[in-house]
Structure 1
Amino acid sequence: MTATPGRARPDLLRATLLVLAAACLWGLLGIFGKAAQRLGLGPLEVAFWRAALGGGLYLLHAAVTRAALPRGRDLLFTLLFGVLGVSVFYASYQLAVRAGGASLASVLLYTAPAFVAIMGGLFLQERLGARELGAVLLTLGGVALISLGGGQGVQVSAAALGWGLCAGFTYSLYYLYGKLFFSRYAVPALYGVALPFGALLLAPLTTFSHKSGPAWLLLLTIAVFSTYLAYLAYSAGLKRLPATRTSVIASLEPVVAALLAAALFGEHLSLLALLGAALVVGAALLLSTG
C-alpha cells in the first residue's frame, strides 16, 4: 500500500521537525559543555559522563527492545569505533570548546564532510571528483580564514584549531561506521556498546570533581538531550527524508551554537571568521547535494 499525498505531507513535516530538533540539540552541546566547565568540571569529565550516561540509555533501550548486540568481528569494529568515535571525539570536542569557545568548536566540527569525502575515496572506492575536491578546498580556505579572523570571546589558537579539527575528523568516522553497520544492527544496540566502552577508556584519564546539583543537571541534559534523543530523532527523520534535505537541515547546528554562544557567553566571530565559517558550512552543503 502506498501512502497518499495527504498522508505523505504530515510525515515529511514530522521528519523535518525531527531532524531540526536533532540539529538544535547538537547545537546545544557546546553550550552545555562550556557551562559545565564553568562549574568546575574538566573537559574529559564532561566527555566521560556524556559517554557513560548516554551509553547507559542506549543499552537500556537495546535491552527493552531486545535488539541484537554486535558479536565477533562486528564487536571488534564497534569497540574500535568506541575508541575513536566516542573517546577521542567526545574528548576533543570538549577540549575544543575549552580552548576556543563553543561557536568555534561547532563550526570546526563541520569539517567532517571534507574528511568523509577524502576517506570515502580512499577506503570505500567512492568517487572523488571535482565537487569533492572543491569542497575540501573550501573547507581548508574556511579554516584558514577562521584562524586569521578570530573574534570577541573566541580564542583561535593552535590548541583550539587542533582539537576542533580532531573532533571533525573523528566525527567523520560515524559515516564510515554507519555505512558498514547501521543497516545490520539497531542504532541503540551499536551505541549501547560503543559509548560505554568509550567511557571506560576515558575513565583513567579523567579527574573527577565534586559536582553540584546544577553540574549534574547539565551532565544529564547533555546525555539525554544532546546525545540519546538527538541521535534517535536524527535517525528517525532520516528514514523519511532524502539525505540531501537531512544534511541541509542538520547544518543549522553551528548556527544554533553560534547564536547561543553569542547570547550567553559573549562569543562573536569576526567578519573574516564568519566568512570562513560560511565556507566550511557551504562545503558541507556542497557535498550533501552531490
Structure 2
Amino acid sequence: MYQLMVMVAALLWGAIAIFIKKLTYYGFTEMEIVTIRVFFAFLWLLPIVIFMENKRKLIIQLKHIWYFIGTGLCSIVFFNWAYFKAINMMSISLAVMLLYTAPAFVAILSAIILKERLMKKKLIAVFTTIVGCTIIALAGKEVGGDWNTLGFVIGLCSGLGYALYTIFGKIALRDYDSFIITFYTFFVSSITLLPFFPFWKKAQSLPLEAWLFMTGLGLFPTVIAYLLYTYGLKGIESSTASILATVEPVSAVLIGITIFNENLFIGQMIGAVFILSSILIISERSRRQDPIVFPSKVDLD
C-alpha cells in the first residue's frame, strides 16, 4: 500500500505537463502558471490548517522568515518557472530529465553550504549526471525542433531550484516540522506573486474548463501528490521511495509521446539513462537515514 501511494504520487507529478500545456493554451505565462499553482495549493492546504488540533505550531519567529523565502521564492517559485518554461521551450521528456539533475546539485550544495562530506558515491552520481546532460546537449542537433540551447540551460536551472528546497528545508527543519514548512512555503510564495501576476483578471473571461485546470493544478500534482508521497514514507525507506519516484520521469515521457506526439531520440534516451542512474546511485544509502523533508519528490541528498 505504501509503495502504491508513492508511485501514484509520482504519476501525478509526471502528469503536471498536461496542466501546463493546457493553461499555456489559454494564454497564461509561465509565471502566471506558477502563481496559480502555489496559490491554489495554499487554498487547498487551508482546511488542514483550520482543523489542526494544535494551532500553536503555526506560530513562527519573524527572524526565521528567510527559511520560507528560501523554500518559497528561491526554490518553489524559481524551479517551477524554470520547469514550466523548459516544458514550453523543448519537449516534456527533455524538461523532466533536466529537472532530475537535482540530486547532483544537492550533493554539491550540501557540501558547500551544509558542510556535508562529499562521499565517493555522491561524486560518482554527480559525474554520471554531468555525462547524461552532456550526451543530451551533444544530441541537440538530432532532436531538431525540440532542442533549444536556452531551454536546456533553463531546464538545468529547474534542477538547481528544486535542489535548493532540500538545502533550505533541512535548515528550517531545525526549528519547524515538515507541514509547517510546506504551509509557509506556499503562503510566502502566494503573497509575493499575487500582486505582480494577477492571473484572475485574465481568467475572468475564460471558460469553466480553464478554472478546473487551475484548481486541479494546485490539487492533484501538488497537494494530493505531496500528501500521498509523505504518507508513503511512513511505511518504506526513503531510498526505496526515491527509486519508486522515478516513475515520474517515465510517466512524463510517456505523456509527451502519447498525448503530445513528441519524439524520443536515441541521444535523449541514453542521456536519460545516465541521469536516472545517478538517482539510483545516491539512493543506495543507509536505511537508518531520515526521509527527505516534505514536499520534496525524491530523496535528493
TM-score, normalised to structure 2's length? 0.85
Counterparts of 1:190 and 1:263, CA distance in 2: 37
Counterparts of 1:159 and 1:55, CA distance in 2: 31
Residues 56 and 146 of structure 1: CA distance in aligned 2, closer, same or farther (over 3 Å) = same
SS at match of 1:269: coil
Give the conservation status (yes or no) of the 8 Å contact 1:148–1:273. no
For residue 164 of structure 2, what is the aligned residue in structure 1?
A: 173
Give the conservation status (yes or no) of the 8 Å contact 2:67–2:172. no
Counterparts of 2:260 and 2:221, CA distance in 1: 19
Give the conservation status (yes or no) of the 8 Å contact 1:23–1:250. yes
Report which stretch shifted further, 79-88 or 223-232. Answer: 79-88
Is residue 45 of structure 1 aligned with residue 13 of structure 2?
no
Give the conservation status (yes or no) of the 8 Å contact 2:135–2:270. yes
The amino acid that maps onto 2:264 is L
Give the conservation status (yes or no) of the 8 Å contact 1:82–1:194. yes
Residues 38 and 248 of structure 1: CA distance in aligned 2, closer, same or farther (over 3 Å) = same
In the TM superposition, what is the alpha-carbon distance from 1:234 to its structure 2 partner?
A: 1.0
Report which stretch shifted further, 258-267 or 28-37. Answer: 28-37
Q: 1:94 aligns with which of 74, 84, 87?
A: 84
Give the conservation status (yes or no) of the 8 Å contact 1:30–1:103. no
Per-residue Cα deviation, 1:132-158 (whole angstroms, up to 9, x for no partner) = 111111111111111222466862212
Counterparts of 1:61 and 1:201, CA distance in 2: 22
Residues 59 and 106 of structure 1: CA distance in aligned 2, closer, same or farther (over 3 Å) = same
Counterparts of 2:144 and 2:34, CA distance in 1: 23
Instruction: Please show how residues 158-169 of structure 1 align to structure 2 within 5 Å.
Output: 158-169=149-160
Counterparts of 1:80 and 1:178, CA distance in 2: 8
Q: 4+ runs of 1 displaced by more than 6 Å? A: none
SS at match of 1:192: helix
Counterparts of 1:201 and 1:154, CA distance in 2: 35
In the TM superposition, what is the alpha-carbon distance from 1:182 to its structure 2 partner?
A: 4.4
Counterparts of 1:245 and 1:281, CA distance in 2: 14
Give the conservation status (yes or no) of the 8 Å contact 2:67–2:171. no
Q: 1:35 aligns with which of 22, 28, 40?
A: 22
The amino acid that maps onto 1:198 is S
In the TM superposition, what is the alpha-carbon distance from 1:271 to its structure 2 partner?
A: 0.4
For residue 280 of structure 2, what is the aligned residue in structure 1?
A: 285
Is residue 272 of structure 1 aligned with residue 259 of structure 2?
no
Q: 1:64 aligns with which of 17, 32, 51?
A: 51
Per-residue Cα deviation, 1:28-74 (whole angstroms, up to 9, x for no partner) = 11232122212322211111100101022223322321452232333
For residue 247 of structure 1, what is the aligned residue in structure 2?
A: 242
Counterparts of 1:227 and 1:57, CA distance in 2: 10
How many residue pairs match? The answer is 277
Per-residue Cα deviation, 1:49-102 (whole angstroms, up to 9, x for no partner) = 001010222233223214522323333311332111222122111111111122
Is residue 190 of structure 1 aligned with residue 185 of structure 2?
no
For residue 234 of structure 1, what is the aligned residue in structure 2?
A: 229
Counterparts of 1:240 and 1:177, CA distance in 2: 25
Residues 169 and 154 of structure 1: CA distance in aligned 2, closer, same or farther (over 3 Å) = farther
TM-score, normalised to structure 1's length? 0.88
Counterparts of 2:61 and 2:50, CA distance in 1: 15
Q: 2:148 aligns with which of 157, 162, 165?
A: 157
Q: Determine what percentage of the aligned residue pairs are the same residue.
A: 31
Q: Which structure 1 residue ranges, 5 or more long, are not aligned?
A: 1-13
Residues 163 and 33 of structure 1: CA distance in aligned 2, closer, same or farther (over 3 Å) = same
Give the conservation status (yes or no) of the 8 Å contact 1:107–1:254. yes
Give the conservation status (yes or no) of the 8 Å contact 2:70–2:165. no
For residue 219 of structure 1, what is the aligned residue in structure 2?
A: 214
In the TM superposition, what is the alpha-carbon distance from 1:254 to its structure 2 partner?
A: 0.5
Counterparts of 1:147 and 1:237, CA distance in 2: 35
For residue 111 of structure 1, what is the aligned residue in structure 2?
A: 101
SS at match of 1:188: helix
